[in-house]
Structure 1
Amino acid sequence: MVQNKRGITAEDFYRIRYASDPQLSPDGTAVAYVQSMVDVDRAYRTHLFVQSLAEKSVIALTEGAVRDSSPRWSPDGTQICFISKRSGKSQIWLIDVKGGEPTQVTRCKTGAANPVWSPDGKRIAFSSMMTPEDSFADLETDEKKEAPKKAIVVNRMKYKSDDLGFVYDTSKQIAVVDVETGEITPVTHSDYHHTVGTWSPDGHWLAITANQVENTDLQHSVDVYLVPVNGGEWIKLTRSMGTFFFPTWSADGKKLAYIGSESPTHLIATQKNVWVSDLETGTQTCLTADWDVQVGDSTIGDVRSPGHPNPGGVWTEDGSGMYFIASERGNSSLYHATLDGTITKVIGGERNIYGFTLHEQSRTAVIAVSDPITPGDLIEVNLETGEEVRLTDVNHELLAELDLPEPIELEYEGQDGWKLHGWLLKPVGFQEGEKYPMVLQIHGGPHSMYGNTFFHEFLLLAAKGYAVLYTNPRGSFGYGEKFMQACCGDYGGNDYLDLMSAVKYACDQFDFIDTNRMGVAGGSYGGFMTNWIVGQTNLFKAAVTDRSICNWLSFYGVSDIGYYFTAEEIQGNPFTNPEKLWQHSPIRHVANIETPLLIMHGEQDHRCPIEQAEQLYIALQHQGKAPVSFMRFPGASHELSRSGDPEQRVLRLQYTAEWFDAYLHTTEKVVME
């Protein structure tokens, strides 16, 4: 161990900060960004900062008990609009870049999100979740909430969402607010969801995305539209054969780029690409069609909240190409693609770039970066020389106290010869000649990616004396589309064997691993796989399953995505081939489970509803076999471990470590209260 340093604790979560959503000023001399933290009341806070690139001086634009986000520079660089709940609902606010008191721009009853300035700086486009009865003219008030309805008529299959809760008949609509007068002009009016994109350079059009097919419950395509801001006929650019997002205009207004996939057979298991529409000829081109890499950041971590702003494809000034993030072999990097399909890595490294902004005239980029020992900071990059200058060090005090092990990269073969990839953390305080227990961690998705990013849970287990093995089995992003799709219809098949191959490889390569003291843990798909593993083998002496799936038959009807997720991922449904869903259900093997199992689940999880945990717990208790404990988290959604209540997140980490301590360090049974 490094002298005078210690391993990380679960409670250190309250001290971790990260910087995100960097936005360079129009003249490229300063960057605005968000800094996130947990305050002394153990509540989330997000504040806005502006930092000069030349002097490196920093101005805190906002502070206090607020959650401010989405800072966006006015075109003249004198003001920043942002989203804040300081008045109650999320609304658009405006503040001078030199600081001062912010002013409120919108006062919508249904709130406001996703602000985008018009080129002339006079208007801001935004979105809001609304019912057919709501109006942008309805004002936010301090009145008490309306009494709950006695009965609700459900007319659609997509009536709930893990991130939004029960949405019933609400949909996302777009409007434009006049910054000077506050007057709001609706842009969309239908029952479909619409997402704000960008303004055309002349300010006459908005590029947006929406699903406007006849039956949005059964056809999930998301198309790109050009919408005249002052009214008129819409122009549809895509063909309702895939999902597309983040449209961006070239500087001359002649082309539009967007990120997405066009696949008649896959909605979920498909890689995203960069597309361009020539608005003069009407042609659509996929710039990355021959590049077998996932566009976007697919890296999983447990400190930063999911859903960071994606700038999409950022055009070069001359319109000859664009910059974007892509994920490959555990890293997410910044790339450049020309219109003829030439792709170049611009900023790489063994790290996770989760955001970027650039100013081409000054050849400057600012990237938001995490790595295995850095939760999230900003780095200025000279695009000509590649020289990097660190702009923020938001965790310097905490990190100075900690001994954080760096991962060992692993490359090995699966049982069928497939090339596989992963990492191993040694325990903090590692001593040659000693034997250590090991925990296998399995990511969710399954179409996501472990990589070179900060993972509090892994570092906590390492601090507790465990080796931590984490890998990307087939189904993961980062290794090509064939690899990513290989788990579809085969959950618990070769993906399971990939994980067992990883364990065997690690045990063969590292003699410090105690093969008699191994544990396994995972969440979501990783929870499914944990449940599957303990039903197949007694190799592991303890297991933790988090927000998991045990029964695909019931998951089909209770999850917010169940009916179409199972169709693609398991390739079955209850009314034509229920036996297929049952074949891949871990609860089918519950009689085989002898591994002590900790089950953790959020009570408001709409993605993998808590009935999945309840079934597994009752089945195990009824048999009276394996030791089992069930931890329920009131009010928690599927995002508990990433954006849930801070105290619940710390409790979850503590329960995980305590369970493994009980069964991998001693022979005594743990009793949790």
Structure 2
Amino acid sequence: MSNETKRALTAEDLKNVEVFSDPQFIQDGSGYTFVSTIVNGKNEYESHIFFQSLHKSEPAQWTFSESKNSNLHISPDGSRAVFQSDRSGIPQLYLLQLNGGEAKQLTAFKNGATSPVWSSDGSEIFFQASLEENDDVTNQRELTNDEQKKEQEEKSKKPLVVNHLKHKSDARGFRDKKRAQIVSFQLKEKTFEQLTIADTDHHLEDVSPDGKTILFSANLNDNEDYELTSDLFLLNLTTMEQVQLTNGMGAYGNAQFSPDGDKIACFGHEYSHQGATINELYLFNIQSQEWTCLSNHWDMQLGDTMIGDTRMGQSTKGPVWSGDGKHIFFLGTDYGATGLYQANQAEELQVLYKNDNHVFGFSYNASDGKFILGISTPTNPCNFYLLDRDPELQRLTNGNEDLLRKVALSEPETLTYRAKDGWEIQGWILKPYGFEEDKKYPLLLEIHGGPHAMYGQTFFHELQLLAAQGYVVLYTNPRGSDGYGQAFVDACRGDYGGKDYTDLMAAVDFVLANYDYIDEGRLGVTGGSYGGFMTNWIVGHSNRFKAAVTQRCISNWLSFYGVSDIGYFFTKWELGKNLLEDPAKLWEFSPLKYAENIETPLLIVHGEQDLRCPIEQSEQLFMTLKHLRKEVEFVRFPDANHELSRSGDPDMRLERLNHITRWFKTYL
């Protein structure tokens, strides 16, 4: 069916998108597992594990409960699999016999269990559990629903005593006495053993091939509360001796042992450009205790920093070792796309697969050297493909086939333009649904958050929805974005509202000069987080836009410093000064200072539980504009944090989109 005969995408279609993640080859390479996430009939997210043989077109579903099932790992002998599921109310670990039968619950920890990893002989499963100091892992019990409700009610009646700088997190809420610890479960004896005890969060990275050592990341420094570092440690499971591998100066993770256990590959950096530092690929020789940076000359962001609004579930980003230990595989973020790359120990980089799309995850099979790639494109949310060292991919799935048969999606046109100072900037433009050459259409400028992230060649429901509503949609990667090298991503620090602002204005000028179907009298702008800051900044410095929507924004850097979960370091990192060092400078960077200049009708959208950009940022802006009798409206979303647009409650995500489209329809 051609786009001309398909219907326009709707906001409600957000609930019809099936999202794939976490492809994992089984040992013999004959098939793979993956996770599929949908919005079910109860308007709740539901994730299931599927298996697909490479010789069959249809995958088989392995889990069925109305819950979130994920993080499956097959035992070394291929007979069993461990996975995590919240079917009992909170995430716990389950064991599934692959020759048939129901999954058996392994853990009943009060605060749940996650991230399982098998020992090399299949006798143990290592995992993470949230524990308090005196918790006994040999005597854990899940609370009933009534007990959980009672505990929450009692907690709500008690004051929260705060004595840490890091006392809140947008992802986890307010700090309590629980820490992520690493625990082992011996399957034969059915016994648990707690392996870490320090008063900090521990993240299980890998288990050595001989099963005698685990690799984890944590900050065990005395000044942990004032630092953002994450070190790598080896824990000898016989002597329980811990050895710190990194120097306490950086952030390291995604670490994996080589097949012979002699080396470790990981991503990391030492904050050379603070929050704008791109990842490097490091190699650690366990015998010589020497570190080598393999990526010194690549100038590319390692991993996947693509922005979208339908990606759910984790997927491998690397590094992953080849079977012979000679190569390391990983994803890289580059010029609006992500691809699969290979490096050797001579620091040579090779592209294994890269196209105008988003590789969001991969799995490697050491027995035959094949890969499963998870790929999203602007007009296809997700599918899995087989890569057999051949540029031609073999598609394995037909994700969202029914939806894509019915709805028309806009294929983006890539554009490149020159900024005011001559820098080259990449962007994209979406034509509206039912586009006709001789018509004029309103334009919406979308601005991404971060700012150190990247728009690119991935499915983005919000962008497609706005095109379906009849708008030309322009989205770009101004300086400060990932994907264009270290100097580019660092270029907005200390200059918010400077050249990043003129980059965006130059994009609008470029498309108005080169696309005659755009109505320059009907321009709108929107963005979230940093994009919300920039939306506020734009309408305070230009009246060329006739409507604006600012989402989870920053309006006042003076207060942001003390209320955001990251404000105490992010303010200095991005603007160059903390509150007490130069409050006048922070006020100069604050859109609130320029509120009197705002003439653009402004819709303010914010989650009430946002701890990253707290709602007081929007409250200050709304109250000021309302007091000035400006055209402004404020929409507050209860129980929503900073992730509202990406993983928030499905109904609230739908309401958000409806408010945005209503506002632009009213004023454009």
How high is the TM-score relative to the length of structure 2?
0.97
Counterparts of 1:203-214 in structure 2 under 5 Å?
Answer: 203-214=211-222
Equivalent position of 1:8 in the other structure = 9
Structure 2 residue aligned with 1:421: 426
Aligned residues of 2:273 and 2:490 also touching (Cα < 8 A): no
Question: Is 2:638 aligned against 1:630?
Answer: no
Contact 1:254 1:279 in 2 (8 A): yes
Identical-pair percentage: 45
Give the whole-Å Cα distance in 2 for the aligned partners of 1:180 and 1:550. 57
Tell me whether 608-617 or 75-84 shows the greater mean CA deviation. Answer: 75-84
2:344 pairs, out of 303, 326, 338, with: 338
Partner Cα separation in structure 1 for residue 130 and residue 175 of structure 2: 9
Does the aligned pair in 1 maintain the 2:317–2:331 contact within 8 Å?
A: no
CA distance in 1, matches of 2:114, 2:523: 46
CA contact (8 A) 2:304 2:317 kept: no
2:560 corresponds to: 555
Which residue number corresponds to residue 268 of structure 2? 260
Match of 2:335 in 1: 329
Match of 1:139 among 133, 138, 141: 141
Match of 2:453 in 1: 448
Q: Aligned pair 1:347/2:353, yes or no?
A: yes
Aligned residue for 1:3, secondary structure, equals helix
Match of 1:100 in 2: 101
TM-superposed CA distance for 1:181, in Å, is: 3.6
Following TM superposition, where does structure 1 have runs of at least 4 consecutive aligned residues deviating by more than 4 angstroms?
Answer: none
| Aligned residue identity for 2:412 | P
Equivalent of residue 533 in structure 1, options 525, 538, 546: 538
Partner of 1:667: none
Q: Deviations over 1:599-657 (max 9, x none)?
A: 000011010011111111100100102x1111100000100000000000011111111
Larger mean CA deviation between 228-237 and 364-373 belongs to 228-237
Partner of 1:127: 128
- CA shift, 1:433, in A, is 1.3
Shift of 1:79: 1.6
Q: How far does residue 128 in structure 1 lie from its aligned partner after superposition?
A: 1.9
* Mapped pair 1:639 → 2:643: yes
Q: Which residue of 2 aligns with 1:272?
A: 279
Match of 2:291 among 277, 284, 288: 284
Residue 42 of structure 1, CA deviation: 1.0
Q: Give 1:310 shift.
A: 3.4
Q: Aligned partners of 1:316 and 1:517: how far apart in 2?
A: 54
Q: Which amino acid aligns with 1:602?
A: G
Deviation at 1:214, TM superposition (A): 1.6
**Paired positions, count:** 660
**1:4 deviation in Å?**
2.3
| Structure 2 runs not aligned, ≥5 long | none
Unaligned stretches of 5+ residues in structure 1: 665-673
Q: Which residue of 1 aligns with 2:233?
A: 225
Query: Is this contact kept in 2: 1:308–1:354, CA < 8 A?
Result: no
* C-alpha contact 2:303 2:317 (8 A) present in aligned 1: no
**Distance (Å, rounded) in 1 between the aligned partners of 2:462 and 2:86:** 30
Matched, 1:656 2:657: no
Residue 380 (str. 1) matches residue 390 (str. 2):
no
Find 1:469's aligned residue among 474, 483, 501. 474
Q: Which amino acid aligns with 1:280?
A: Q
- Structure 1 residue 57: deviation in Å? 4.4
Counterpart for residue 504 of structure 1 = 509
Q: Distance in 2 between matches of 1:386 and 1:363?
A: 14
Task: Tell me if the contact between 1:50 and 1:97 (Cα under 8 Å) persists in the aligned partners.
Answer: no
CA distance in 1, matches of 2:216, 2:168: 23
CA distance in 1, matches of 2:508, 2:136: 57
1:584 maps onto 2:589 in alignment: yes
In the alignment, the residues of structure 2 paired with residue 261 and residue 286 of structure 1 have an alpha-carbon distance, to the nearest angstrom, of 10
Q: 1:194 to 1:405 in 2, by over 3 A?
A: same
State which drifts further: 287-296 or 213-222: 213-222
RMSD (Å), alpha carbons: 1.3
Of the three residues 548, 557, 573, the one matched with 1:543 is 548
The reply to whether residue 317 of structure 1 matches residue 319 of structure 2 is no
> Cα distance, 1:311 vs. partner?
4.7
Letter in 2 for 1:91: Q
Change in Cα spacing, 1:267 to 1:214, as seen in structure 2 (3 Å) is farther
Instruction: Indicate conservation of the 8 Å contact 2:50/2:63, yes or no.
Output: yes
Which one-letter code corresponds to 1:101 in the other structure?
A: E
Which residue of structure 2 aligns with residue 518 of structure 1? 523
Which has the larger displacement, 142-151 or 500-509?
142-151
- Structure 2 CA distance for partners of 1:99 and 1:648, relative to 1, 3 Å: farther
Mapped to 1, the partners of 2:315 and 2:419 lie a distance apart of 36
Aligned residue for 2:45? 44
Partner amino acid for 1:92?
L
Shift in Å at residue 394 of structure 1?
A: 2.0
